[in-house]
Amino acid sequence: MSDTDLFDPCQFNGLTLQNRIVLSPLTRTRAAMDGSPGPLQATYYSQRASAGLLITEATAVAPEGRGGAYIPGLYDDAHIAAWKLTTDAVHAKGGLIFSQLWHAGRLSHSSLHPQGLAPVAPTAMKQEGQVFTEKGLAPYDEARALTLEEIPEVIAQFHRAAVRAKAAGFDGVELHGAHSYLIDAFVRDMTNKRTDRYGGSIENRCRLMIEILEALIEVWGPERVAVRLAPIGHAYDAWDSDPEPLFTYLVGRLNDLKVGWLDLVEGDTGISRTCEPSFDLQKLRRLFKGATIANNLYDRDLALQARRDNTADLIAFGRPFIGNPDLVERLKVNAPLIDAPRAAYYGGGARGYTDFPTLAEAGGLGDGG
């Protein structure tokens, strides 16, 4: 293992990480309907605290920002103590954890809004498909366009959530700016047809993301703020017609703000590492001045090669962490991985969530490597 630093301690933005492996955000839909996590989440994240950095599942900044039922939030002061169970448990294991702040936009549902109102988007539109509600699957609602007068409140929701994240003991926050949720929908020309200061030009379409990042930095400082981008992703059948100039501009603005971390999804998350329209995402890696987290379908060999080639500072793993709470150790000794069944991904309680054994518990020794 001497030819890689993947498992070595490292320092970025004033934080000392145990290694260069990151737990990627994974929606698990096991919070209470009021958005509160609990002891179950504390156990789940602390089991995975050997990763250099943990990033929570997408955490809503408003009730109407949830992308489904049983999603956690940071939109109520009661969530502070609820999340502190998790941060305390992770810190007790020597881990570091960021909260991923999120607004689902049009991919929410009226049943999740306190007043039953339609979800919001940069432009009025209806998403094809279904969303998981408390009563089961339901068609997406017709989303309405956010008005100019409403946008400051959305920014304020992120600011308040960032304050709560700090009170809850997180080590930083990540802005979810990918996968066609509200912030990403503003950025892309397929989903943003506005003609005001938040639409049209690249600068205008990126305006909301930049203003929200400024709000997060006001609370955390730039070194503890991350942003997730998926420049060539096609989530929910939406993309940008010319992503290279768009995301080159956006990463330049991240540098202007001195944002500390770029969580860069390479391709379509969980589906493919290549898609069209495409461009060399290493251009963004070279441009960004903070720490770059490479994300999407990494396995041991790809991660080792990425560090040998220095194509990313840190490597994120998602689904492999579901069935392997001690994924870092398993990767280190090249042990077999448990492939968690898809039925375990979402919903339920401890089963398929906190009951996967570690290598030591399973009596495995690995085969070296």
Which residue numbers are catalytic? 181
Contact between residue 204 and residue 253 where contact means Cβ atoms under 8 Å apart: no
User: Are 327 and 337 in contact, with CB atoms under 8 Å apart?
Assistant: yes
Which tokens belong to 324? 């392997």
Using DSSP's 3-state secondary structure scheme, residue 272 falls into strand
Q: State phi, psi for 30 to the nearest 5 degrees.
A: -130, 15
d(CA 32, CA 292): 33
C-alpha pair distances (Å), 110 with each of 46, 49, 129, 138, 346 = 34, 36, 15, 10, 21
Cα angle 48, 51, 54 (rounded to 5 degrees) comes to: 75
- CA proximity to 202, closest of 233, 244, 264, 151: 244
Q: Which residues contact 11 (CB under 8 A, 6 or more apart)?
A: 17
CA 327, CA 51: separation in Å to the nearest integer? 8
Euclidean distance between CA atoms 193 and 175, whole angstroms = 23
Instruction: For residue 71, give the nearest of 25, 116, 106 by alpha carbon.
Output: 25
Q: Please give the structure tokens belonging to residue 280.
A: 């060399």
Angle at 166 between CA 160 and CA 169, to 5 degrees: 145
Which residue has tokens 């009170």?
167
Mapped onto helix, strand or coil, the DSSP state of residue 20 is coil
Q: How far apart are CA 109 and CA 226, in angstroms?
A: 27
**H-helix or E-strand containing 98?**
strand 97-102
